[in-house]
Amino acid sequence: MSYKKILVTGADGFIGSHLTEVLVRAGHKVRAFVFYNSFNSWGWLDHCEEDLRGKFEVFPGDIRDAYGVREAMRGCDAVLHLAALIAIPYSYHSPDTYVDTNIKGTLNIVQAARDLDVGKVLHTSTSEVYGTARFVPITEDHPLQGQSPYSASKIGADQIAMSFYTSFGTPVSILRPFNTYGPRQSARAVIPTIITQIAKGNKAIKLGAVSPTRDFNYVADTVAGYTSALESDRGVGQFINIGSNFEISIGDTARLIAEIMEEEIEILIDEQRLRPAKSEVERLWASNTKARELLSWVPQYGSLEGFRRGLAETVSWFTNSEHLNSYKPEIYNL
């Protein structure tokens, strides 16, 4: 990679912390943009391995603040933009914050990148922008459907980012990870919800809808998608799916996790976990042809066998008592 210094926004989060660690271990100078708070918490970066401590720069700020974003980006050659609000149920509750964070935050990123002549911008989209699949596997040409305030805000953010490429030539690539899972993921996601309930000894597992299908992506594969896009100029000006090209229902996922954990479970439908009927995305299944062709990216945890391996690694992390005690499976996490 020719980029001497890389800014990672959302570096304190689930995917962002894994990505920061991989970049640092690869020898890159990384500035980690974390959400400012009075506790001086760096999120998951507070828990990085000893060999990484002191090896990256931390910039506390708020993606909604244009001045702070510009200062964070100053001196950087590339920016990997992951900072966002992503919980779908919370977007029903507080949609305005999603517009400010996801749309305005992205505008702040691309405006600063343009003004500072940054060499590459990787913007993070989501498979939720497609809504319920009209055809499968879903290619990047699939219609966009804002079935939740969250997905609508990400569609807006994607279009803002791409408009800077088409209007000003800003070197933007837009990655669309499908449902990423793995160690450190928030309990607002379904896989940690299932694992932590079982690990706490629950036999009756509370879930929302179990018939929708998802294309789950192990976090190491998602991170590899970013590093591949950073290395390749062929992704500039492109929307690119990062997905396993394998779908499985939520119900079958729960049963597979129970099998890995060697437990018998009963699935209970919890009304408060159900999305409004027209907002539920019933089917997601990614075509990853474009990522393979443009980025030479190939998922290492694709297929049922790969999903099982990824789940086993995820279960191992969550069932460590030090990690499990950080979660509250008895509470529905928005």
Q: Convert the pLDDT of each residue in 95-149 to its tens digit.
A: 999 999 999 999 999 999 999 999 999 999 999 999 999 999 999 999 999 999 9
Ranges of residues in the chain whose predicted pLDDT is under 50: none
Amino acid at 45: L
- Strand 248-249 to 213-214 pairing: antiparallel
Beta bridge partners of 180: 217
What does the pLDDT read at residue 1?
A: 56
What does the pLDDT read at residue 334?
A: 85
Taking the chain, what is the end-to-end CA distance rounded to the nearest angstrom?
A: 38
CATH number of 5-181+217-242: 3.40.50.720
Q: What is the C-alpha separation between 173 and 186, in angstroms, rounded? A: 26
Q: Which DSSP state fits 271?
A: G
Which residues neighbour 193 within 8 Å (Cβ) at sequence distance 6 or greater? 187, 207, 329, 333
Structure confidence by residue, pLDDT tens digits, 2-36: 788 999 999 999 999 999 999 999 999 999 999 99
Tokens of 234: 């062929």
The sign of the torsion formed by the CA atoms of 44, 50, 56, 57 equals: positive
What does the pLDDT read at residue 267?
A: 98
The structural domains of the chain, with segments of one domain joined by +, span 5-181+217-242
* Residue ranges with strand state E in 131-237: 172-177, 180-181, 204-207, 213-214, 217-218
What does the pLDDT read at residue 223?
A: 98
